[in-house]
Structure 1
């Protein structure tokens, strides 16, 4: 990846296409990339592990240069796309995105968006909620 593929104001990779997500999943993404993404929005290791579908203890054992599993790599790509969508929705305000991720929402059965990201379906649901916010449709 080149520096030109990153959003200049957020530091996140510009949204991945579905084909890019498949390719990254198959190749695997390094732990260091997961840490970089987590740091951009202040995710704890426990939160990051949950969004990647792995245990926090397994995440801690991975060295920065080690590659995540196919499934965890796919989830990291989905997380990056979701975070970019959130930053676009909330005008690049990282603090707003971080707070929103941790706020229980009626549309998500009173769970926070972050709590639903332990499943792939949760990523879809959270992305839909952001889409409704984009269009001025609230809860």
Structure 2
């Protein structure tokens, strides 16, 4: 994986996905995301994540377990499927949470790309393709936030 680095200090999941202009909505609470995911996020959200984090589209596709060719096709079509949208929102929410815990975007993204003993020696980023993996990453972030060895 290439190094992820953000252009700004801390960003929200909404900002990471391109902001209200790209999302064509103002998700404020968790329940606001459900209709967006069900409808399928605009494919411009992928470009926004790539631009904001400087992660390559290839690395993002790998982290989300979405084939690169599928992402390229979705960009032409203009929207992600609901399943792909859910994966991208999950990614954005975990990045947002990591930034909150580390209080620094670069530190958070470096942590996401570093092997972690409490996660079986794999990188947190490599676990974001599944709900169980993302939950494990969020649990680990919670332990870090509360000063428990993680």
TM-score (norm 2): 0.76
Higher relative contact order (CA 8 A, sep 6+): 2
Q: 1:13 to 1:64 in 2, by over 3 A?
A: farther
Tell me the residue number matched to 1:38.
Answer: 50
Residue 114 of structure 1: aligned partner? 125
Stretches of structure 2 that go unaligned for 5 or more consecutive residues are 1-8, 16-26
Alignment equivalent of 2:88, drawn from 62, 76, 86: 76
**Structure-1 residue corresponding to 2:14:** 13
Confirm whether residue 97 of structure 1 aligns to residue 97 of structure 2: no
- In the other structure, the counterpart of 1:128 is 139
Q: Which moved more, 1:78-87 or 1:46-55?
A: 46-55
Residue aligning to 2:21: none
Give the match for residue 79 of structure 2. Answer: 67
| Alignment TM-score, normalising by the size of structure 1 | 0.81
8 Å CA contact 1:51–1:118 kept in 2: the answer is yes
| Number of residues of Structure 1 aligned to a counterpart in Structure 2 | 131
Q: Displacement, 1:136?
A: 0.8
The 1:122/1:38 distance shift into structure 2, 3 A limit, reads: farther
> Are the counterparts in 2 of residues 100 and 113 from structure 1 also a CA contact under 8 Å?
yes
Q: Tell me which moved more, 29-38 or 81-90.
A: 29-38
**Cα distance in 1 for residues equivalent to 2:135 and 2:143:** 12
More deviation in 28-37 or 106-115?
Answer: 28-37
